[in-house]
Every structure is written in structure tokens, then in C-alpha cells.
Structure 1
Amino acid sequence: MLLIYTNKRSRRRRTPMKNPDLPKPDDMHPVFHRWLESLPLLEDKPPTTVCAYGQALRRVAYFAEIPPASFGPTELGQAALTDVVRRMRSSGEVSKATLNQTLSAVGSFFDWCIAERIADEAPDIRRIRKISKLGADRSDPEYYRPAELEGLFQQARQPSPSRIRWPARDLAMCAFLAVLGLRASELTDATLDWISRERLEDVDGSATWMLQVRGKGRKTRWLPLSDELVDAHSLWHQERQDEVETLQVAIKHLRDHPQGDPERQEKQSGEEERLEDRADRFRPGPDRPLFLTNEGKRFTYRQLHYWLTKLNSEASLRDRSPHSLRHTAGVQLAADGVPMNVIQSLLGHASVATTGIYTELAGGELVGVLNRSEANTLLREALDGAVP
């Protein structure tokens, strides 16, 4: 007789989770509907995802006990959203997968709100996932093929009606990510004093522009900048200085033409203060961010991701994460025959002491490496015609 053993546990059907009485879409604030309408255009989301994201935000409103008509970014700070996530987990009504999707929707909502100047900052979704022990999904190890990278570089330097684009800066940011292979956090943390000119014992004994990267685990690595990277950075730095000078001219004009009417004086004073604040944010300084948003602030990761999403869309490319540009650097260097140990030093995968890095540079292992990469060659093609 054949005995068949079955696992009763595996045969037991899971009881469907309760579907809470979510707010109706028509009851939600207009900003909710504007965000939903943007998803197919800016994030290339299919109708099913748009529907799921809409339900996700209505779920947040339900558990946060926020009136649908009042729902907006100001109602969801870091502490409030953390509490909402805890309520969802303890309710037994929301699965882990649904909760992860809900947080993705919240992140998308805040990205859009920041781009539309409805919000100034977003909750730290990654930290909330960690606290809630949800675990963030790993980014796929994707990279840009040469033709795609060429399209990205070319599109980056083109004027755009988007309020989050700035051609000179965008090309430089793409270059630092795709040629140097910087992590997203390294790019957003970078300050102007990371770049310096060092005299190394290379072929001609001339000084080389270097980027001192303070990366993961507080480890520092020195990276040589190719001529193309220096040119890309110079273009952005010059436009940044031009912005400050333009603002200073506008401030001087206001001061030279004071208004006689008290009401107009107050309005003029407010405008002068706004211009001075913007000029101060863009004014270069050793501890100032290397790259700034159009508002003159340091990029957050979500703003960086949203910026790349927009740029990919304009270039008719598939959406990818900023980390894909780091993968691109590694792939291109490997394809160009650069030894793996050199690539590891360049990308910061191995722990190397500062003196060790200088020894490698003096030996010529890293100096000139970037000049041989195809990503750097494509950057030169994008720069042709852009350098005054």
C-alpha cells in the first residue's frame, strides 16, 4: 500500500486579509489626483500600478486618520509615517508586500510634491523600512549600454522646460556617476573641497586634478579626474558663479531704485531678501555642496532618483536607478581591459590606505585610466560644442 504524506500546514488556505474601509478617490485632496495623473508620464507607470499606488495613499490616509480632503505632504512627517507603518503592521490587515508597495507609493508622492514645490523634504523611507524590518528591495544590477549612455549625455546638455533640470549641472552629474562610478550618497555628500590639484609622479610630472571621495564606511579614496570630467565640472561651476553674479546685479538694482510707497517698500524688501538668500545658497565655498538643486539645496537621494527618472524619460530611455550609472562605470572599465584590482580601487570596493592609493597613482595604475574608458569618450563627444 502506498502511503502519501501531506503537509497539512502547506494545504491550509490563508485567510484573505480584511480590506479596510478606505477613503473614496473622489474624496481625496486635488494634489492626490494631480500626482496620480503624473505617474504614467513621469514614472512610466502602467494603469495597474497607478491604481495600486492610489489605493496605497488612501490606505495611509485611513490608518493615519487624516481627513481625505486634507491629505497632503504636510500631514506626513517622519514620526507620523513611522507610526502609520506600525499601525498597519499590528493591524494584521496589511501584508508585508502591500506595506512595501505602500511605502514606495509614499516615496513617489513626495518626489512629485518636492518637484512641484509643494513640499521641501520627504520622510526617510529607507529608515522606516529598516525600523519596521521590511527590508528594501535591492536594485537590479543594470547598466547603460554605450548607445544609451551617449543618449543620456546628449540629452543632459540639452535645454529642458522641466524645473528640476539644469543642463550644465546635469551633464556633470551624469559624468561623475558614469565615468567615476560614484555612489549616489557620495555624489550628494560631495563638497567643493573634495576637488583639488595634486602634483603626482606621473608621466610628465604635471599636476593632476583629484577628487577626494569620502565614501562608504568613512573610507577615503583619491580619484584622478580626466580632462573631460574637469571640463564638465568647470562648465557647471561657471554657471553657478554666473547665477550668483546675476542675482547680485538684481539686488543692486533694487537697492538703487527704492520704492517710495510703504507697501511697495515692504514688497521690495521681501524680494531683496529672497534674492540674497538664493545668492548665498549658490555662492561657492569649501564646505558647499558640489552639486545643488535648482533651489540651491543639497540633493537628497529621492531628489536624485527623481532627477534621473526625468532625464531618462526625456532621453526615451528605460528608467534606472542612480546606482546603474555606477555599474556602467565598472562595466565600461572592464570592457576596456582595465585590471579588476584597479577597478576595485576606483570604485572603492576594497579597503586601501591613503598612502597605498598614492603609490598606485605614482605607479601610473590609475592616472590615465579614465581617459581610456568609453564612458569618458562619450562624455567628450557630449562636451564638444558645449565648452566656450
Structure 2
Amino acid sequence: MPEGATRLHSAVRGYLDHLTVERGLAANTLLSYRRDLRRYLEFLAGRGIGDLGEVSSEDVAGFVRTLREGDPEHRPLGANSAGRAVVAVRGLHRFALREGLTSHDPAHQVRPPTPPRRLPKAITLEQVEALLAAVGSEDDPRALRDRALLELLYGTGARISEAVGLDVDDLTRLRPDARTGAEVGVVRFRGKGGKERVVPVGRYARAALDAYLVRARPGLAAAGRGTPALFLNARGGRLTRQGAWAVLRAAAERAGLSDVSPHTLRHSFATHLIDGGADVRVVQELLGHASVTTTQVYTLVTVDRLREVYAAAHPRARVSR
């Protein structure tokens, strides 16, 4: 490998190490960045560039065009995927400049493509109830686990990776609320970048978790080696994201629901809270969003629903024919 190309690959390795150790990025994000930067290096090599110091703004812009248009070896990427790749490339060049590996940042002026604004997909409360009712017999330990998992996802707005990453000790024992006297419980999630947040557990999710912990988890745990994981698979190990996804997909099929994903329950949690009058900043904290701007998209869902109701119900809102 030419010396310049060796320095280039070394810079990428150093940047990824920085993201891992100092920034604490999630493993899935790092995997995506590594894939994006590998493609970037291939693009630069195709232009005969073997050193970061040789890269120009036109080269970076050309890479963005290639992402969007595709090439013989890669299909075109959507705005979100291309945007993530641009963020990775911009971060690499900022890192190289800060570490003294280059004297300029050619990616500084290159902006990620603007993704189309898409409102989150949510299902109705009736559909949520149908989904939960479709889990299966309460005599089956796995059905008790599945009910607890789905109740937790909808009742807390957790990401599926956060739910399957829970240990039993992440559930706080129930205690009386100092103000109301009602029993409350909380769960501690580890979100993106290792950030922790504490979310209340409602009575439906709490009841489902209690039933699972008492009547199902001990039997599942007997098949394993004493893992602390909350949700276990049939072999007694930690339930994977793929396994949890399969649980949701099977319940959705039995309930006659299409296009339901783990994030659907998270979106439904947030939308139903906003519909019920919850403050957007409270929802932001519950979801673990770094910025309230991310959460405010749920208020747009509610506004759209209000428009539909108004147009259908108000006598002077109807269009004359």
C-alpha cells in the first residue's frame, strides 16, 4: 500500500478510535461510520488521492453526488443514509485538522442532503390493545415474556435496543408515591452514546413485568447460565434485537396490523402523550432526545389530526361544491 494511502487509513482508524473511546458512540453507529468511511476511501482512491491533505472541497462534494446517484458497485442512497455518510466524512476531516494531520478542512462547507420531512408513524390506542391481546396464551412462559416486552415498549417509549439491554436490576422496586400514595416503579435505560435516563413504569407494563418475572423468567433462566438480562430467550440467554423484532412481527400479524416496527410503539407512546396534553419537554426527557426539536415533530402529528377533525366536523370548514 502506498505511504499516503497508509496515512489515510491510519487517520480513519484514529478517528474511529476517538469516536469509540472519547465520544462513546453506540456500536451500531460506529459500524455505519466505518462502512461509510470505507466507501469514502474507495472513492478517493478512484480519483488517485492517497492522502487527506490532497482532498479538495470538490472531491467531498463529488463523493456526496456519488452517494445520491449511485455507481456500478453501489445503489443510490436516500437523503438520510447519505447524510450520515457526510457527517462521518466531515467528522474525519475535522479530526484530521485538529490532530495536525492536515492543514485544511475541505469538508467544512459541504452540507449533508436535506431529508424529506416525514411524520412519525403511530397506531391508535385500539390497535395497540389489539397488538397486545394477540400475544398468546398466558400459560406459555414466552407469551408472558412477549406481553411484558411489548407493554414495556409502548408504556415507556423505549428503543428496542434499550429494552433488550435491560437487566433485572434496572427495574426499581415498587414504592408508594409520596404525593398520591399510589405504587409507582421506574426503569433505567441506557440510550444512545451510553446516556442513562429514568422513566416511570405504568401499571399495565408493571403488571405484565410482574407476571413475567414471577411465572416465566425463572423457567427460562433455568436453561441458561444465570444471566442478569431481564428478557430471556428460550435458551436462557439475553433476548436479541432480532428476537424482539420477531416477537412484535408475530403479534402484529395475528392482530392484522401491517407495517408495524419497534419504533412504531415508540412513536405511538409519544403521540398519545402529546394528544393527552403532555408537555413536549417532558416527552423529550422520556424519549431521551438530546434536542427538543426532535420531539416537536410529534406536535405536527397532533396538529394534522386536529385539522382533519376540524375539516370533517365544522360546518364552515367544509369546501363548497
Relative to the length of structure 1, the TM-score reads 0.43
List aligned pairs for 1:1-388, cutoff 5 A.
Answer: 93-97=72-76, 141-158=120-137, 166-197=142-173, 200-204=177-181, 208-237=184-213, 238-244=215-221, 278-280=223-225, 283=226, 288-350=228-290
Deviation at 1:350, TM superposition (A): 4.7
* Distance in structure 2 (CA, Å) of the matches to 1:242 and 1:294: 9
- Indicate how the Cα distance of structure 1 residues 336 and 230 shifts in structure 2: closer, same or farther if over 3 A, else same: same
* Distance in structure 2 (CA, Å) of the matches to 1:178 and 1:307: 14
* Distance in structure 1 (CA, Å) of the matches to 2:249 and 2:195: 29
- Indicate how the Cα distance of structure 1 residues 289 and 152 shifts in structure 2: closer, same or farther if over 3 A, else same: same
Indicate the SS of the match to 2:206: helix
- Indicate how the Cα distance of structure 1 residues 243 and 296 shifts in structure 2: closer, same or farther if over 3 A, else same: closer
**What residue is the counterpart of 1:372 in the other structure?**
none
Contact 2:220 2:232 in 1 (8 A): no
Q: Deviations over 1:107-147 (max 9, x none)?
A: xxxxxxxxxxxxxxxxxxxx99x999xx9x99972112122
Q: Percent identity?
A: 26
Q: Deviations over 1:147-194 (max 9, x none)?
A: 211110100134799xxx921111111111111100122112111111
Deviation at 1:200, TM superposition (A): 5.0
* Distance in structure 1 (CA, Å) of the matches to 2:290 and 2:163: 19
Deviation at 1:227, TM superposition (A): 2.1
* Distance in structure 1 (CA, Å) of the matches to 2:119 and 2:232: 27
Contact 1:309 1:319 in 2 (8 A): no
Deviation at 1:240, TM superposition (A): 1.3
* Distance in structure 1 (CA, Å) of the matches to 2:286 and 2:135: 24
Contact 1:181 1:347 in 2 (8 A): yes
- Indicate how the Cα distance of structure 1 residues 131 and 145 shifts in structure 2: closer, same or farther if over 3 A, else same: same
Amino acid at match of 1:218: G
Q: How large is the RMSD of aligned CA atoms in angstroms? A: 4.1
* Distance in structure 1 (CA, Å) of the matches to 2:148 and 2:187: 14
Amino acid at match of 2:129: E
* Distance in structure 1 (CA, Å) of the matches to 2:160 and 2:124: 19
Deviation at 1:298, TM superposition (A): 2.1
Q: Which has the higher contact order (CA 8 A, sep 6+)?
A: 1
Contact 1:219 1:351 in 2 (8 A): no
Contact 1:172 1:229 in 2 (8 A): yes
**What residue is the counterpart of 2:67 in the other structure?**
none
* Distance in structure 2 (CA, Å) of the matches to 1:316 and 1:232: 22
Amino acid at match of 1:304: A
Amino acid at match of 1:194: D
* Distance in structure 2 (CA, Å) of the matches to 1:328 and 1:241: 31
Deviation at 1:340, TM superposition (A): 1.9
* Distance in structure 1 (CA, Å) of the matches to 2:255 and 2:208: 19
**What residue is the counterpart of 2:62 in the other structure?**
none
* Distance in structure 2 (CA, Å) of the matches to 1:329 and 1:202: 25
In structure 2, runs of 5+ residues without a counterpart are 1-30, 47-70, 79-83, 90-112, 293-321
